[in-house]
């Protein structure tokens, strides 16, 4: 993964490079960024940048088997200066022997003690195709289905073993540990290694939720915060990489709210007429009565979890547009015509405070869907809540 392939995050890229050039690099970094921000691609690009640097002190073997210290320490190279190196290409393919990867895995067979290296082929393919994917995407990709992902004690032992070996070709060794939230108490095995690592060893932890990381590990890391992407950056990337027209790219980017993974998911389900589905839901909720409500609930429960989340998030997006129209108008926040019409109709049946309550309920529903809630029960309960929040049977056409 190259820095130039990463969407936005120019400030973070510059900061990381400056840390290296100015010798301010800690031996343990925590890249903390919400889903879709690009924390993993940044970590992979930075690991690649580190291992391809010339070592600051080179050992030169003399003719008699001893060694002398060389004073010809090379200055750090920029990312652009490294692209011609074989080591750079190997790192780009996740095949550099001095970059190690740890990520959640699952037990495929009873009694098995899985390690990350057992899934390295799948990992390379996943990163190539879904660099902005989350842990759920990864576990589905390797066939975990409903099984729990984990970073095991055996994995921690393997990390200790690998990082205590000499580097193969670089002056540096790097461990990229993705989703330390999946480390249980067994993560304490790594404390001494993180606190007193072998020379020229770098830990890069990549996380989404700071609160789920072991405090003992968190306290030993230098925090690098990865902000959400700008709407403009996501829209431009969709246009360039996915050949999406500018209007559609802008719409998708606005709904994604800084999450590039979300934007890709929306693009994949772009054939769905979410707005029409929202209209059907509100009509069945506010006018149709119990039979229409149950019918809609049955239909929406047949959708997969990802589609259900996209639907709820699109509904939230429409509600936010309604609030913007009512509070600041359309001059400050331009809105697509079809969404503008819908948002104005929504404003006729609910106040700003009611719309805010709706947003909270839809957010909660997304949260429960991610945690495998029964979709039929969830949508039936949500339908009843929406009815009581609005308390007005009005048809949206």
CA 340 to CA 252: how far, in whole Å? Answer: 15
Residue 91 in any domain: the answer is yes
Q: What is the pLDDT of residue 270?
A: 63
Lowest pLDDT segment from 166-170, 187-191, 335-339: 335-339
Cα Dmax for the chain? 92
Question: Is there a contact between 42 and 11 (Cβ–Cβ < 8 Å)?
Answer: no
Claim to verify: residue 259 and residue 216 sit in the same structural domain: no
Last residue of a domain, one of 268, 291, 320: 268
Claim to verify: residue 301 and residue 351 sit in the same structural domain: yes
Residues 6+ apart with CB under 8 A from 43: 31, 176, 178, 204, 206
**DSSP bridge pairs for 183:** 151
Claim to verify: residue 300 and residue 208 sit in the same structural domain: no
The confidence band for 63, taking pLDDT boundaries of 50, 70 and 90, is very low
CA 214 to CA 369: how far, in whole Å? Answer: 26
| Ranges 8-22, 267-281, 329-343, most confident | 8-22
Digit-coded pLDDT (tens) for 213-230 = 888 888 889 999 999 999
DSSP 174: E
Q: What is the pLDDT of residue 125?
A: 95
% of the chain surpassing 90 pLDDT: 31
Claim to verify: residue 172 and residue 300 sit in the same structural domain: no
Residue 202 in any domain: the answer is yes
Pairing of strands 59-61, 67-69: antiparallel
What is the dihedral sign for C-alpha 366, 180, 116, 258?
Answer: positive
Structure tokens at 183: 């480390």
Mean of the per-residue pLDDT values of the chain = 84
The confidence band for 348, taking pLDDT boundaries of 50, 70 and 90, is confident
Question: Is there a contact between 250 and 362 (Cβ–Cβ < 8 Å)?
Answer: no
Pick the closest to residue 78 from 43, 53, 44 (CA basis).
53
Claim to verify: residue 337 and residue 242 sit in the same structural domain: no
Residue 298 in any domain: the answer is yes
Question: Is there a contact between 113 and 152 (Cβ–Cβ < 8 Å)?
Answer: yes
User: By residue range, what is the domain housing residue 18?
Assistant: 3-227
Claim to verify: residue 252 and residue 328 sit in the same structural domain: no
CA 62 to CA 65: how far, in whole Å? Answer: 6
Residue 194 in any domain: the answer is yes
Q: How many CB atoms lie within 10 A of CB 287?
A: 12
Lowest pLDDT segment from 19-33, 73-87, 189-203, 316-330: 73-87
Evaluate if residue 122 carries a pLDDT over 90: yes
Structure tokens at 108: 């495929």
Residue 144 in any domain: the answer is yes
Q: What is the pLDDT of residue 69?
A: 40
Evaluate if residue 344 carries a pLDDT over 90: no
Residue 110 in any domain: the answer is yes
Digit-coded pLDDT (tens) for 360-394 = 999 999 889 888 889 899 999 999 999 988 875 44
Last residue of a domain, one of 268, 293, 323: 268
| Count of structural domains, the chain | 3
Evaluate if residue 62 carries a pLDDT over 50: no
Residue 397 in any domain: the answer is no
Claim to verify: residue 151 and residue 296 sit in the same structural domain: no
Cα dihedral value 175, 112, 207, 176, nearest 10: 10
Question: Is there a contact between 60 and 217 (Cβ–Cβ < 8 Å)?
Answer: no
Q: What is the pLDDT of residue 333?
A: 59
Question: Is there a contact between 156 and 109 (Cβ–Cβ < 8 Å)?
Answer: no
Digit-coded pLDDT (tens) for 155-173 = 999 999 998 888 888 888 9
Claim to verify: residue 24 and residue 129 sit in the same structural domain: yes
Structure tokens at 265: 């998911």
Q: How many CB atoms lie within 10 A of CB 246?
A: 11
Residues 6+ apart with CB under 8 A from 23: none
Structure tokens at 253: 């980017």
DSSP 251: H
**DSSP bridge pairs for 173:** 201
Digit-coded pLDDT (tens) for 193-202 = 888 888 888 9
Evaluate if residue 46 carries a pLDDT over 90: yes
Evaluate if residue 247 carries a pLDDT over 90: no
Q: What is the pLDDT of residue 172?
A: 86
Claim to verify: residue 222 and residue 236 sit in the same structural domain: no
Lowest pLDDT segment from 73-77, 128-132, 231-235, 343-347: 73-77
Residue 342 in any domain: the answer is yes
Claim to verify: residue 182 and residue 263 sit in the same structural domain: no
Average pLDDT for 67-92: 69
Q: What is the pLDDT of residue 331?
A: 58
Claim to verify: residue 63 and residue 208 sit in the same structural domain: yes
Helices (H), 153-288: 153-163, 191-195, 215-218, 231-242, 246-256, 260-268, 274-283
Claim to verify: residue 375 and residue 241 sit in the same structural domain: no
Average pLDDT for 3-12: 90
- What's the CATH code of the domain at 136? 3.40.50.300
Q: What is the pLDDT of residue 56?
A: 52
């Amino acid at each position: 993964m190259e820095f130039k392939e990463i969407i936005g995050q120019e400030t973070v890229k510059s900061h990381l490079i400056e840390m290296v050039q100015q010798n301010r690099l800690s031996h343990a970094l925590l890249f903390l960024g919400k889903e879709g921000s690009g924390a993993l691609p940044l970590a992979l690009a930075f690991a690649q940048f580190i291992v391809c640097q010339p070592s600051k002190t080179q050992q030169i073997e003399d003719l008699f088997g001893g060694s002398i210290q060389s004073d010809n320490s090379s200055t750090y190279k920029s990312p652009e200066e490294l692209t011609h190196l074989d080591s750079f290409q190997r790192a780009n393919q996740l095949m550099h022997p001095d970059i190690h990867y740890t990520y959640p895995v699952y037990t495929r067979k009873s009694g098995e003690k899985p390690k990350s290296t057992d899934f390295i082929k799948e990992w390379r393919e996943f990163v190539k195709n879904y660099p902005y994917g989350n842990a759920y995407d990864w576990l589905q990709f390797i066939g975990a289905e409903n099984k729990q992902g984990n970073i095991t004690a055996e994995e921690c032992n393997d990390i200790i073993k690998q990082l205590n070996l000499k580097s193969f070709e670089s002056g540096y060794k790097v461990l990229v540990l993705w989703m330390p939230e999946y480390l249980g108490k067994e993560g304490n095995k790594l404390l001494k290694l993180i606190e007193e690592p072998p020379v020229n060893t770098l830990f890069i932890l990549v996380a989404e939720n700071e609160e789920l990381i072991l405090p003992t590990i968190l306290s030993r890391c230098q925090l690098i915060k990865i902000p959400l992407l700008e709407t403009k950056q996501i829209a431009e990337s969709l246009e360039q990489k996915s050949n999406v027209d500018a209007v559609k790219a802008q719409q998708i980017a606005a709904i994604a709210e800084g999450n590039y993974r979300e934007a890709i998911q929306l693009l994949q389900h772009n054939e769905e007429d979410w707005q029409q589905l929202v209209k059907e839901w509100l009509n069945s909720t506010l006018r149709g009565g119990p039979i229409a409500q149950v019918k809609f609930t049955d239909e929406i429960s047949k959708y997969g979890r990802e589609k259900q989340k996209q639907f709820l998030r699109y509904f939230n997006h429409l509600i936010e547009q309604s609030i913007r129209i009512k509070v600041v108008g359309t001059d400050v926040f331009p809105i697509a015509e079809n969404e503008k019409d819908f948002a104005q109709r929504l404003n006729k049946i609910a106040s700003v405070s009611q719309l805010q309550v709706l947003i909270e309920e839809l957010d909660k529903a997304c949260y429960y869907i991610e945690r495998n809630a029964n979709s039929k029960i969830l949508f039936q309960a949500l339908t009843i809540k929406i009815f009581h929040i609005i308390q007005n049977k009005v048809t949206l056409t």
